[in-house]
Structure 1
Amino acid sequence: MISECYVKPLHELSLEAKQPIYFTPFELVFLNGNYSQKGLLFAKPTPPENQDFSISTFLDDLRRSLSATLDHFYPLAARLATRKQENPPCYVIYIDPENCQGVKFVHGTLDATVADIVTSKDVHILVHSFFDLNNAINHDGHTLPLLSIQVTELADGIFIGGSVNHMLADGTSFWHFMATWSEIFRSKAISRPPIFKKWVLDGSDPIINLPYTHEEQFIKRSEHAHVRERFFHFSSALVAKLKARANAECNTNKISSLQAVAAFIWRCVTRVRRQPNKSETICRLVSNNRSRVNPPMTDNYVGNPVQLVSTTTTVEDLMAHGLGWAALKLNEAVKNHDYSEVKKWVESWLKNLFVYKLSGLFNPNLVHFGSSPRFDMYGCEFELGKAVAARSGSVNKADEKMTMYPGREGGGSMDVEVFLLPEYMMDLEHDEDFISALESN
């Protein structure tokens, strides 16, 4: 670590911007969640294309453009606050923009190369050191930064990694922030102003009073077993082939590329786990509710309006039927997750408030897909050219977790970061269906 500082918005906040921002039910349930960690690996500019590149100048430009970006994304520079009383019990958690302590900005160096990172069979353990706040949970945002940026200089590369409080931002919001920062770095313009006015269910109070008097009543930190981490690349041709196969098997055209790839991985992972035939297997996707609420929100809405959507069957049925059958079950689960389902869940939660314990969200028969290949990660260039690779940090990783990324070459290609216990990963690497498909890339 070379240095760290805190970056604040370039200009003083308006009176309106200093007002508290209250969380929605989608966000409050994740008080125990870890920060989200994503970042981009770039090749360092080299002569003769860029004779004048200076890391110190680049860092100064990053800090200045980050400050200008925080004029728009000012809640990321704030801290959480809690208003509470014991009689009657009142516990309200919110973002306090007036407590503008800034975004943490860390500069570090590492004696490694880009090739060390991208050619490693498993995700290189050094990648975990590219991120800050590795042990933080969302509730820690009362005292810790809501966003920390770490810039790590490699021998021939630069990694820009962000650790963001997951109650403030889902993947849609994080990559919106990164795109805006890159845009301002390049031209000082902004094409998509963020929206922080929170969605509220008609007839409900925007200020939610949790039934607690102390954080010990709901805070539960979780630990996960050691897993292996690998990236598997699905070319645009392979994605198209899996999508066409899934749709043809069901005589339909409604199965998406993501659903086809997720179903393929679900079947392969379930097979290598060797669960009993009569046991349940679950496939779960993270659903973006922006387009599902009424009125719908745009992708400029900043927050974490997501829910978990799943489908369940027996191992026997999943293995007996084809790819299309599994993909269609995912398609139906997503289709059925409409506004009436979202509204029903919110109304139920408001009658019986609770906070998820992460250990309760996972089980050994689950395959969980997070993030999205639709995020424009590689559009964030910071005048370094297209990133060489995208990577994630050490948190939010468990035996059942899969993280989706767009492929660097675009065209509908995908990269899937797979986390499995070592024995399952070894079997997946030798699974005939899985390997033969990837070899056809």
Structure 2
Amino acid sequence: MVSSSDVKIISECFVKPKTLPEKWKEPYHFSPMDHFMLSLQYIQKGLLFLKPSTPSEESDDAIKQKVFMETLLQKLKDSLATTLVPFYPLAGRLSTLKTDDGSSYSVFVDCNNSPGAGFIHAKSDLSVGDIIGSKYVPLVVQSFFDHHKAMSQDGHTLSLVSIKVTELIDGVFIGLSMNHSLADGSSFWQFFNSLSDIFSSQEETTSNKLLCLKNPPIFREGSGSICSLPFTQPDESISQTEPPVLKERMFHFSSEILRSLKAKANQECGTTTISSFQSLSAFMWRSITRARRLPHDQETTCRLSAGNRSRMDPPLPLNYFGVYVSLVQTTTKVGNLLENEFGRAALQLHQAVTEHTDKKISSEMDRWLKSPNTPSLDTNVVHMGSSPWFNKYGSEFGMGKAVAVRSGYGNKYDGKVSAYPGREGGGSIDLEVCLLPEFMEALESDQEFMSLVSSS
């Protein structure tokens, strides 16, 4: 078994934007949704690469490997400094503004009083095979990320974004941790891909090359407006509960399997509108619920993380940076879910997604502002997070296509499923499934489930 002790920190530093935009002087105030996300942990996603060549005992090879890592680290630092210019709030720190009577507060990003983004170089004697060759995702992967177990609220003292580069025997893992109150998954990968684009442009990146970003961030107008919440301290709405030990495994769904699931769901419901991902989500909801062996009179819920940019009226550009995501969920009795056809569950999810409109999104946020509460880790929930449509294999950093995508400790609990694009593309999907050990064992014994998947 590999553990966190297998990862040693070599160096740590902070990186500031290469140039300071005029907006740097202004506070970047949070929206209501940004405040809501303070109670979640940092987003932690990373890419595993093979080194261009494997070191050996030959002194020339060892020297080449040392030069390769030194060059990689310096180019990453320089690229980060340049990328932080258009993404300037990520180089700041959180600060809290209280009303004079202390009855409410508002959080904002202070870009002036900050040492910048974090950058860490670490080393391990593990190999790429140790990471991707195990049946379950090894716990050591959590050590490939900075800000372990940190809440977004901790951004008052921690960097809002941090890159940890872990050198393996034959590979490199680049782990990115980003404060969830500033960014959703879409913005996270927008930043990661922009960092890669700037890295790949040239060794010497000038300020003019900032205009060459394929996907430059657009920050919302009116970020100077204050949104006060009825707390005397920001952490009043935050509860930090330690989840139990989970088993985490990657499952692969080929494009052919996904097409068949979609066809089956639509055929059973006499429709053509149910999507592949809605069908896959229904399949996972039923499979995990069956593995939990719940009484049929209990309720079970399936939640989807839904992007809101295209749902707003008027729609927002896809490169609008920030938090524009909310939960779509549907609940039913366990008996209804398992005793009826699979297509019925898929149609139920489809209807919930269809009803997730700008009006409903605004109504739910208004309700939360009147009675703020912490996102609950309810039991009997299957949560389909992340997205297979994010460009997660588009960042190469001079090492070619990544071998795998992996995530850290943040925001995981029993029933959390994260969707990644399959490495071979073509519409295939990899699912990162987190379950209690007994539920994972039951899922692995489910012939219907295992007949459709392969390990990723």
Fold-level similarity (TM above 0.5): yes
Partner of 1:31: 38
Distance of 2:41 and 2:277 partners within structure 1: 25
1:393 maps to: 408
Contact 2:258-2:276 within 8 A present in 1 as well: yes
- Once the two structures are TM-superposed, the CA of residue 383 in structure 1 deviates from its matched residue by 1.3
Residue pairs, 1:238-249, within 5 angstroms: 238-249=257-268
Q: Show CA shifts across 1:185-208 (max 9, x none).
A: 0115311110112589xxxx9421
1:12 to 16, 20, 25: 20
Find the partner of 2:360 among 317, 338, 341. 341
Deviations 1:419-440 (A, max 9, x none): 1110010010010110112269
Inter-partner Cα distance in structure 1 for 2:110 and 2:29? 9
1:405 match: secondary structure? strand
Asked whether 1:354 is paired with 2:372, we answer yes
Offset at 1:403? 0.7
Q: How far apart in 2 are the matches of 1:198 and 1:81?
A: 20
- Deviation of 1:355 (Å): 4.0
Offset of 1:26 from its aligned partner? 1.6
Conservation of the 8 A alpha-carbon contact between 2:251 and 2:455: no
Pick aligned residue for 2:215 from 192, 204, 208: 192
Q: Which residue of structure 2 lines up, in the alignment, with residue 161 of structure 1?
A: 175
CA distance in 2, matches of 1:270, 1:199: 44
Mapped partners of 2:298, 2:107: distance in 1: 40
Is residue 54–residue 169 contact of structure 2 (8 Å, CA) maintained in 1?
Answer: no
Give yes or no for contact 2:252–2:454 (8 Å, CA) kept in 1: no
Tell me the number of residue pairs that the alignment of Structure 1 and Structure 2 aligns.
431
Structure 2 residue corresponding to 1:181, chosen from 195, 198, 202:
195
**TM alignment of 1:52-131, pairs within 5 A:** 54-85=68-99, 87=101, 89-131=103-145
Secondary structure at the aligned position of 1:34 is classed as coil
Q: Answer whether contact 2:46 2:174 (CA < 8 A) is retained.
A: yes
1:329 alignment counterpart: 348
Q: Is the 8 A contact 2:105 2:234 kept in 1?
A: no
Aligned to 1:3: 11
User: Does 2:370 correspond to 1:370?
Assistant: no
2-side partners of 1:207 and 1:41: how far apart?
40
Runs of 4+ in 1 over 4 A off after TM superposition: 50-53
Alpha-carbon distance, 1:97 to partner: 2.0
Per the alignment, residue 298 of structure 1 pairs with: 317
Residue segments in structure 1 that go unaligned for 5+ positions in a row: none
The alignment yields a C-alpha RMSD, in angstroms, of 2.0
- Structure-2 residue corresponding to 1:262: 281
**Greater CA drift, 108-117 or 237-246:** 237-246
Taking structure 2 as the reference length, the TM-score comes to 0.91
Distance 1:13 1:283 in 2: 43
Distance 1:91 1:216 in 2: 11
How far has the Cα of 1:47 moved from its partner?
7.7
Shift in CA distance, 337/17, structure 1 to aligned 2, threshold 3 Å: same
- Any stretches of 5+ residues in structure 2 without a counterpart? 1-8, 56-60, 202-208
Q: In structure 2, the residue corresponding to 1:329 is in which secondary structure?
A: helix
Identity level (%): 48
Mapped contact 2:26–2:111 kept (Cα < 8 A): yes
TM-score (norm 1): 0.94
Deviations, residues 102-130 of structure 1 (Å, cap 9, x unaligned): 11000000111111111110001211110
CA distance in 2, matches of 1:217, 1:172: 28
Which secondary structure state, in structure 1, belongs to the residue aligned with residue 311 of structure 2?
coil
Residue among 301, 308, 328 paired with 1:282: 301
2:164 aligned partner, one-letter code: Q
**Local SS of the residue matching 2:219:** coil
Supply the distance in 1 between the matched residues of 2:194 and 2:151 (Cα, whole angstroms).
25
Tell me if the contact between 1:32 and 1:355 (Cα under 8 Å) persists in the aligned partners.
no
1:236-287 Cα deviation digits (max 9, x unpaired): 1111111111111112111111111111111011111111111111100011
Matches of 1:346 and 1:122 in 2, distance apart? 38
Q: Distance in 1 between matches of 2:269 and 2:442?
A: 29
Alignment partners' CA distance in 2, 1:341 and 1:228: 35
- 2:42 and 2:151 in contact (8 A); partners too: yes
